[in-house]
Amino acid sequence: MATDMTELSRMVAFELRWCAHGGGPAEVIMADFGMDTAAFFRTLVAYLDVAALAPLRPVLVERMTTVARRRLWLGT
């Protein structure tokens, strides 16, 4: 599981690119981060809930969190 700030920053940047499309594809998440989508989105939500990067606008944080939670709910 990704826990260091560099990896979390990469995850946020990745999701910013893919958020408008419902989140990143499972195969790209696996290739780029070495984890399945459930682990990726759980890690992302946990990070965004407590320590989102300061330069992110709250609306972007909310959008990414919504997409991540939807993906978790759908199991994809």
Which pLDDT value is given to residue 1? 45
> Do 47 and 54 touch, CB atoms closer than 8 A?
no
> 17-63 pLDDT, tens per residue?
999 999 999 999 999 999 999 999 999 999 888 876 667 888 899 99
Nearest by Cα to 71 from 27, 33, 29, 22: 22
Instruction: Give me the residue label for tokens 């994809």.
Output: 76
CB atoms within 10 A of CB 48: 22
pTM: 0.86
Q: For residue 68, what pLDDT band results from cuts at 50, 70 and 90?
A: very high
